[in-house]
Amino acid sequence: MEEWRRGWRTVLGAALAAATGVNLLYVVFSLFIPHLQKETGWTLGQFSQLQAIVGIGSLAAPLAGWAMDRYGCRKVWAAGMVAIAMLYLVVGFAPVVPAIFGVLVFATGLIGVATTSISYTRAVNSWFIQQRGLALALSATGISLAAIFLPPLLERVIALEGWRAGYFMLAALAMLIGLPSILLLVADPPARKV
């Protein structure tokens, strides 16, 4: 029980931040495709290539892990959340030119990796030993709950206001829920007994 008394806030913060990081875009990106296709004329094959570009960008995961080791999980995670929100805003305002869009998609994978499971598992692992499995499972439910409740809301926003408004909504979620969750709920790890 001692672990939960000390670490419950970190689990809650991790769940909320995980739900609003780049993983959310991976869950809802298909909602953007019909609207982007209508505007650009791109094929589904071209959108598949974009998804591959995101994967290439996420090869930066070791760099994110190294940065967390060096500067701390919370700092890197918070910086990643701000960066991904800013990137969503850039995507929302940028002209839809294939090369520019490809670079922005690559940057999504590159920057977004700091808001993925690397961060929330690192934060939770530092607080739990005996109840680590349950704590990690609960922190991962943030992504699952976001995948259930946010797509219908996002789909409505996109249908009414356009795909750019969808990116603005993703930015708002990252800045208004994700970032405060990291800064106010996720705690630095407790001092280790030597």
Residue 190 lies in a domain: no
Query: What pLDDT is stored for residue 193 in this prediction?
Result: 60
**Mean pLDDT confidence for 51-76:** 88
Residue 14 lies in a domain: yes
Residue 194 lies in a domain: no
Query: What pLDDT is stored for residue 72 in this prediction?
Result: 92
pLDDT in tens, 132-175: 999 999 999 999 999 999 999 999 999 999 999 999 999 999 99
Which residue is it, tokens 């800013």? 86
CATH number at residue 126: 1.20.1250.20
Residue 99 lies in a domain: yes
Burial of 106 (0-12, 13-18, 19+ CB in 10 A): middle
Distance CA 185, CA 14 (A): 8
Query: What pLDDT is stored for residue 105 in this prediction?
Result: 85
pLDDT in tens, 77-133: 999 999 999 999 999 999 888 888 888 888 988 899 999 999 999 999 989 999 999
pLDDT reading at 191 higher than 70 = no
What predicted TM-score, i.e. pTM, was given to this entire model?
0.91
Residue 149 lies in a domain: yes
Distance CA 134, CA 142 (A): 13
CA dihedral 12, 140, 120, 189 (to 10 degrees): 50
Radius of gyration, alpha carbons of the chain: 17
Residue 189 lies in a domain: no
**Domain range enclosing 100:** 2-184
Tally of structural domains, the chain: 1
Residue 135 lies in a domain: yes
Residue 68 lies in a domain: yes
